[in-house]
A and B are shown apart, each in its own frame.
Chain A
């Protein structure tokens, strides 16, 4: 480790401080999920599993969790299929309106989710899609297209065009070339985009808020519970979600790294 200048040493302290700032709230959350008290204050009252038990017994919440998983899976499947097709077309062809299309699909990612949710609600009602999980799936799949298209296009741009030519040279038609040469090459991007889409869909609130009917997703459940007041169960759910998120990150990093 090279010797550091004075201001660099100061930076270490600063960086440490920022990292603490980033993690302290999460640590608090996990801490209080085991705390035997319905109030989130110090000093700690003792270790307990009861909030977790309450979570597991909470039918409504479990149902919402199930809905979230279904919605995220369905939305991811749809957006990956459509997005990959679109990315291939955008990479391969030039056509009028190409730039417009690319900007359009990025809109849901830059606009406040509420705007997109409102727009979709307005229209879906007109064409007869009622507020329901189906509407949520469609809404998510549409909003997440930008994620998939940008990731897959980035990977396609790095592809050696000659490989597809070599495949054609060796007798493979367009479909075969796509299946045997292009697809394996863009698989990391598709996996990464899929993982990201799943996570974004799972955690999504604003668009879901407008499109959801009687069946709700987990974030909506948590949100409505929070509006009514804090219950310590939330800490437990929160801690579980943190654990699941971290697990997912480790999984995805591991998956994507091995591919190289």
Chain B
């Protein structure tokens, strides 16, 4: 599946008592990739990370890292290092001592000068060259995060594990650190495995994203692939946003699939687009997904006419919630300011008409669970 796998999970499960945190899981991470495990809390992403790091033992299955079976190995015998969510810096040591720790464990006695040089180098790499003598308590959140990274990187792990590394930072800082992370990944050339619940972060940083839900992998793919071709409604709504509407599959007619939405609106879809692979039967209950940015007033096909419920100002865009043709749940669309300004009155109660290209309609077979 992957060119040169560096981490392989085969049939790995994890139970906590009777709670199945992770169902049978198989996947590979390629050397040098930036892979993100993405999902809401409880989906099993952190469990997976901790299994790879060695902080939990799998209930079954095998884990290989760099060609070695490490399933039973404790953390100190795996060629991976972890950046913890709350950084877990040692409060009674200075920054330099924290960073140097990894090179002094297991009886290692490096030469003082050598050690100092390596610590200096890695601190320089994360932009904290002057902070060596300070203590973690005196640092800001962003600085602590960098110390945690330096501490993990000094051992030159084959894989760097990051457990929600940016979740404790405020928005502006998070954006800066995202750029830093990407830069580090490129410069170091090692494999990064990150866990996050923030999909924009995942989209921005990853080579591949593993979307998880309730202990299972839903879909793995590059950010583009996941965004353009989600395979389930869950993924469609988790990566980016989507209007998910119940519908009934009518049939194939003149090269286009025909669907009737709840409430009666009829739309067409070009087959082979994003969603479930099919085939679909006439009368089958399905769900369609429409990305808000694909609904445009100037598109002539698949017209929706509805009534605006609410408008929300988002700076460069306007988000409009509207109801249409017997659909109780409002759908929403996001329009650029320029476009919005050309549309006349946009206020609650006003009418609105939008269309969508048949190629942009996502079609999902109704899932067994909600």
Residues of A within 8 A of B (CB): 160, 162-163, 165-173, 176, 180-181, 184-185
Contact = CB atoms under 8 A, between A and B. Distances in A.
B86 A170 contact: no
10 contacts: A160-B88, A162-B85, A163-B89, A165-B55, A167-B105, A169-B55, A169-B75, A169-B80, A170-B102, A184-B92
B122 to A, nearest CB: 13
Nearest to A187: B92
B88 A170 contact: no
Contacts of A169: 53-55, 75-76, 80-82, 152
B81 A185 contact: no
A170 B154 CA distance: 9
B93 to A, nearest CB: 9
Contacts of B85: 162
Contact of A172 (B53, B76, B84, B89): B76
Nearest to B97: A180
Contact of A165 (B88, B101, B106): B88
Given A162-B84, A163-B90, A170 B55 contact: no
Contact of B155 (A166, A167, A170, A185): A170
The 8 closest A-B pairs by CB, nearest first: A171-B105, A162-B88, A170-B102, A168-B75, A172-B105, A166-B88, A184-B92, A169-B75
Contacts of A184: 92
Contacts of A160: 86, 88
A172 B90 contact: no
Interface of A is mostly: helix
Given A163-B88, A170-B155, A176 B106 contact: yes
B155 A171 contact: yes
A167 B86 contact: no
Interface in B136-171: 151-152, 155
B151 A170 contact: yes
A211 to B, nearest CB: 40
Contacts of A173: 74, 76, 106
Contacts of B90: 163, 166-167, 181
Nearest to B80: A169
A171 B102 contact: yes
A162 B92 CA distance: 15
Contacts of B106: 171-173, 176
Given A162-B86, A169-B80, A170-B155, 16 more contacts: A160-B86, A165-B75, A165-B82, A166-B90, A166-B151, A168-B54, A168-B55, A168-B74, A169-B53, A169-B55, A171-B76, A171-B102, A171-B106, A172-B105, A172-B106, A185-B91
A78 B181 CA distance: 50
Nearest to A166: B88
A165 B84 contact: yes
A167 B104 CA distance: 11
Contacts of B74: 168, 173
Given A171-B105, A173-B76, A176-B106, A166 B84 contact: yes
Most buried by B among A160, A170, A172: A170
Nearest to A174: B74
Nearest to B86: A162
A165 B106 CA distance: 15
Nearest to A164: B88
A168 B92 contact: no
A181 to B, nearest CB: 6
